[in-house]
Amino acid sequence: RLLIIDFGSQVTQLIARRLRELSVYCEIHPYQNVTDAFLAEFAPKAVILSGGPDSVTREGSPRAPQSVFEMGVPVLGICYGQQTMMEQLGGKVVSGHGTAEFGRAFVTPNAHKLDLLNGWFGNDKEQVWMSHGDHVSQIAPGFEVYGTSPNAPYAITADASRHFYAVQFHPEVHHTPNGAKLYENFVKIAGFSGDWTMAGYKDQAIAAIREQVGDKQVICGLSGGVDSSVTAVLLHEAIGEQLTCVFVDHGLLRLNEADEVVKMFRDNYKIKLIHADEAELFLGELDGVSDPETKRKIIGKLFIDVFQKYANGIEGAEFLAQGTLYPDVIESVSFSGGPSVTIKSHHNVGGLPEKMGLKLVEPLRELFKDEVRALGLELGLPASFIGRHPFPGPGLAIRCPGEITREKLAILQQADAVYIDQIRKHGLYDEIWQAFAAILPMKTVGVMGDGRTYDYAVAIRAVTSVDGMTADTYPFTHEFMGETMTRIINEVKGVNRVFYDLTSKPPGTIELE
Ligand code: XMP
């Protein structure tokens, strides 16, 4: 196994992700915990020193145990890790002096070959992502320079005989397009065969949950979405009866969804599940409300109240499990300069654990969405369930612009079910990132048979996207759209018109509210 010593960089988890992609087993441990005794017991086959926010030039700043360099294993230092490595092995690091580099840079090779750089410099230079104030001013004895950027003369250095490699940039981020190749070369050098799998991750996660929770009771909020479902099933495998799930049913779910969730988790998985059927409460509070933000706030607040009410009834609970993913943890601001305006207030139970005096269990914290799906499959969740499109916390409320009524909700549920059935029948479901129907706040005139109709209009939406941040409209054929229109109007009473939403994001958002 490979050890990543974490010096606090915001992208350390991305290193683990790159290694998982290579089927290499690794663990991240904060530098404070990595003592000589720890190292002896862990017996890593290779070590990676992560980046970090501190300055090596500051007295008392973090270091790796010197024994890391005496174990005879390959070591890769990244950014801060590279600087402490140089320092600890006899080189020098200096601060600032106009040589800070943030963002894209280009590294050019020197004449010598290095095994770490196989597959690099095909075009004589590689784009890399830099983020450093300090830089190495003198390399350690035994090291040679293999790559240089305008502001980092020692962008890539190595002591090839000892398999010590040091890079100033971050090969783990996607702004270093060829970075994965460096990790591939590094693990090859270290002798990893790349046979580690998601089954291994599952076992590791189960062991970690058991260790954290002991014999205590755990509450898990289950929404029926992929993340909370995988969390619940994983916890159930780890601690069985110590888990109770609370499923808050706000009456704004898709057709038959509540029944399906209860059936699957209670009957198939035998998970203790409380079905908090509070549709009356939610729809009552939403009665007459048409402002989107007000709707979201009402639902968000009630959701927390209801969850708390049911959770309080669970004797002896000490932990709250959440399906937090790594992208929720990482502060994307550091790499993308994130948004500062609230476009929509998202569902957020962030403050809940402290308020309820519960400790958090977040077994998906290290994973990305696609990895959560792979873990779900490993846990035996059906592929059709794992591959479901995202569904927003406020549910159908934000697909029903204007006032929400039971009548409109029922029409919407049916129209949506027909639409999704159409998409599945045509084999398009997996090509689309998210598809749904919305019911518009208007009635229009139509003619059916010999009679005049005056009914609701439904909008159908389908988008492709990578992460929901931007989206393109899915290009259905006219034939498909015609067939879908006919089916919705024929099969759903109360609808006499169908619109197709052509809007990309931006300028639109994916949901209508
Ligand atoms: P928008 O509409 O902001 O949606 O373009 C982007 C993605 O986020 C989902 N979404 C939400 N998910 N709580 C959620 O859990 C919310 O309040 C919420 N609002 C939007 C939306 O379905 C899409 O996938």
Are 133 and 248 found together in one domain?
Answer: no
Q: Mark whether 221 and 364 lie in a shared domain.
A: yes
Please tell me the total count of domains within the chain.
Answer: 3
Rounded distance, CA 138 to CA 456, Å? 73
Q: Is residue 78 part of a domain?
A: yes
505 in a structural domain: no
How many angstroms does the Cα of residue 494 sit away from the middle of ligand 1? 27
Catalytic residue among 163, 170, 236, 275: 170
Confidence of residue 339 (pLDDT cuts 50, 70, 90): very low
Q: What is the pLDDT of residues 16-60, one digit of tens each?
A: 999 999 999 998 899 999 999 999 999 999 999 999 999 999 999
Q: Is the preceding peptide bond at 507 cis, omega within 30 degrees of 0?
A: yes
Phi/psi at 127 (5° precision): -80, 135
d(CA 375, CA 386): 10
**Active-site residue 172, yes or no?**
yes
CA of 491 to the centre of ligand 1 (A): 28
pLDDT surpasses 60 at 349: no
Give the ranges where 190-278 is alpha helix by DSSP (H): 198-213, 226-239, 257-262
> Domain check: are 214 and 352 in the same one?
yes
Whether residue 22 is found in the same domain as residue 169: yes
Q: What is the pTM of this model?
A: 0.82
114 and 141 inside one domain: yes
Is 151 within a domain? yes
Choice among 22-26, 465-469, 500-504 with the minimum mean pLDDT: 465-469
323: pLDDT strictly greater than 50: yes
Of 167, 189, 211, at which residue does a domain stop?
189
Confidence of residue 337 (pLDDT cuts 50, 70, 90): very low
Question: Do the domain assignments include residue 398?
Answer: no
**Position 392 in a domain:** no
Which domain range does residue 131 map to?
2-189
Same structural domain, 219 and 278: yes
Q: What is the CATH number of the domain that holds 417?
A: 3.30.300.10
Both 184 and 204 in a single domain? Answer: no
Question: Percent of the chain at pLDDT above 70?
Answer: 95
**What is the rounded average pLDDT of the residues 354-368?**
88
167 shares its domain with 301: no
What CATH number is associated with residue 373?
Answer: 3.40.50.620
Distance 74 CA to ligand 1 centre (A): 44
**Token pair listed for 437:** 């129907």
The answer to whether 112 and 49 have CB atoms below 8 angstroms apart is no
Last residue of a domain, one of 170, 189, 208: 189
Say whether both 298 and 204 belong to one domain.
yes
Say whether 79 is catalytic: yes
Is 506 contained in some domain? no
Asked, for residue 397, whether it belongs to a domain, the answer is no
Determine the atom of ligand 1 nearest the C-alpha atom of 394: 17
Last residue of a domain, one of 172, 189, 206: 189
Judgement on whether residues 110 and 170 belong to the same structural domain of the protein: yes
Residue 354 lies in a domain: yes
Are residue 207 and residue 286 in the same domain, yes or no?
yes
Residues 340 and 439 in one domain: no
